[in-house]
Amino acid sequence: MAPSPSPSSTGLVGRDNFPHRHLLGIANLAPHEIRFLLDEAEQWVTLNRADSRKHDDRLAGLTQMNAFFENSTRTLLSFEVAGKRLGADVVNMHAAQSSVKKGETLIDTAMTLNAMRADVIVIRHMSSGAVQLIADKVDCPVLNAGDGRHEHPTQALLDALTIRRRLGGLEGVIVTICGDVLHSRVARSNMLCLTALGANVRVCAPPTLMPAEAERYRVTPFHDFDAALEGADVVMMLRVQNERMDGAFIPSAREFHLLYGLTPERLKRAKPDAIVMHPGPMNRGVEITSTVADMPDRSTITEQVEMGVAVRMACLDVLTRERRGVAGWA
C-alpha cells in the first residue's frame, strides 16, 4: 500500500510540493520546490553511503529510458545508477554519433520511446529547447539532462545540495562562477538556482564569453577574476566549451589560464575556507590547476558527483509518484 503523504519542511502536502509533470529547467521552479527536491535527496545520500545494499524498490516495474544525443560520462552514468538504485529497468540510447537533427527526426525518436511505453525519459540534446519539444510529445515525465546552452537542472540541484551540506545553507553565500559562461547550461541553471535560494552570485568571464543578458539573472558580472574572487565562499570553475564555439572566443588556452585559471595563489583571495567546485569534465591546467582540483578539504569535485546520484534519485522518485499512485500525488 502506498504510504500516506507527510508534510515537508515547507508545510505543503503531496503534489503541492512539486506540481510539475517534467523537470525541464530551474527557470519555472519556485524556491520552495527547489528546496523540496534537495530535502528529498538527503535520504538518498544516506542510502548511497550505506556499506552494503544501496537499493530501494519504489521504481520496480517502471521503465526509465535515457536518450543521450550528446556525449556524457557522469550525467549518463549517474542517471543510470540512480534509476537502478530505485529498482527501475533502465535502458540507454546513445545517439551521439547518429545524424539525428532537430525537427521531424527528433519527434520520430520521441514517438518511438513513447510507443515502447517508457515511464520516465531522461534526455540530453545539443539543441536548446529540444527537450521541451520531446516533453510535449510523450505521455510520461521527461527530465532534462542538458539541452544545448539552455539548462542542466539536475547539475544545478546537485551543486546547490553540495553547497548546502558544506556551508549549512545558501542564504547570503557568495558564489563566484568563472569560465565560459556564455556557452554553459551549467552556469545558466546555477545562476537561476543559486539566486532563487538567496545566494549572492558573481559571474566572471572574458567579455567574449559573457552573456549579454547576465544582469537579468540578478548576478554581478566581472571580467577581472581577482576582483570576482575577493571574499568568495564558493568558487565554481567552468570548462571552456570548444565544441560550442564557432569562432575564436579566446586567444589561446595559455592566455585563458593566465587570466582566468584558478591557481593556489589566486584562491587566496577567496575566504580562507572557500570551497572549489567544477561540474566536470575538467581541462586541468586551463581553467583549474591540478593542485587546486585535488585539494582534499577545499575541492568538492568528487562530492558533487556523489550528490548527483542522490539528486537524480530524488527527481526520478518525485516525477514518477503520480503514475505509481502515491497518495497525495495521483
Which residues contact ligand NCD (rule: CB under 6 A)? 74-75, 146, 152, 155, 185-186, 239, 241, 279-280
For ligand NCD, which is the closer residue by CB, 186 or 192? 186
Question: In the complex, what is the shortest distance from the CB of residue 81 to ligand NCD, in angstroms, rounded to a whole number?
Answer: 14
- Which cell goes with 10? 515547507
Strand positions, DSSP E, 44-119: 63-68, 89-94
For ligand NCD, which is the closer residue by CB, 62 or 161? 161
In terms of Cβ atoms closer than 10 Å to its own Cβ (0-12, 13-18, 19+), residue 107 is middle
Question: Quick count: other Cβ atoms within 10 Å of Cβ 46?
Answer: 10
In terms of Cβ atoms closer than 10 Å to its own Cβ (0-12, 13-18, 19+), residue 252 is exposed
Question: In the complex, what is the shortest distance from the CB of residue 299 to ligand NCD, in angstroms, rounded to a whole number?
Answer: 15
Q: List the strands of the sheet with 275-277, edge to edge.
A: 220-222, 200-204, 174-178, 234-237, 275-277
Residues 6+ apart with CB under 8 A from 64: 79, 83, 88, 89, 90, 91, 118, 119, 120, 121, 122, 316
The neighbouring-strand residues paired with 169 are none
Question: In the complex, what is the shortest distance from the CB of residue 136 to ligand NCD, in angstroms, rounded to a whole number?
Answer: 23
For ligand NCD, which is the closer residue by CB, 155 or 320? 155
For ligand NCD, which is the closer residue by CB, 83 or 279? 279
Q: How far apart are CA 291 and CA 329, in angstroms?
A: 47
For ligand NCD, which is the closer residue by CB, 185 or 321? 185
Cis peptide before 251 (omega within 30 of 0): no
Question: In the complex, what is the shortest distance from the CB of residue 244 to ligand NCD, in angstroms, rounded to a whole number?
Answer: 9
In terms of Cβ atoms closer than 10 Å to its own Cβ (0-12, 13-18, 19+), residue 177 is buried
Q: How far apart are CA 241 and CA 4, in angstroms?
A: 46
Question: Residue 178 is inside which H or E element, if any?
Answer: strand 174-178
Question: In the complex, what is the shortest distance from the CB of residue 278 to ligand NCD, in angstroms, rounded to a whole number?
Answer: 9
* Residue closest to ligand NCD (Cβ): 239
For ligand NCD, which is the closer residue by CB, 17 or 189? 189
For ligand NCD, which is the closer residue by CB, 12 or 77? 77
Hey, what's the torsion of the CAs at 151, 155, 156, 158, to 10 degrees?
A: 160
Question: In the complex, what is the shortest distance from the CB of residue 237 to ligand NCD, in angstroms, rounded to a whole number?
Answer: 10
CB of 10 closer than 8 Å to CB of 35: yes
Question: In the complex, what is the shortest distance from the CB of residue 82 to ligand NCD, in angstroms, rounded to a whole number?
Answer: 14
Question: In the complex, what is the shortest distance from the CB of residue 114 to ligand NCD, in angstroms, rounded to a whole number?
Answer: 25
For ligand NCD, which is the closer residue by CB, 146 or 206? 146
Question: Quick count: other Cβ atoms within 10 Å of Cβ 207?
Answer: 9
For ligand NCD, which is the closer residue by CB, 138 or 186? 186
Question: In the complex, what is the shortest distance from the CB of residue 85 to ligand NCD, in angstroms, rounded to a whole number?
Answer: 19
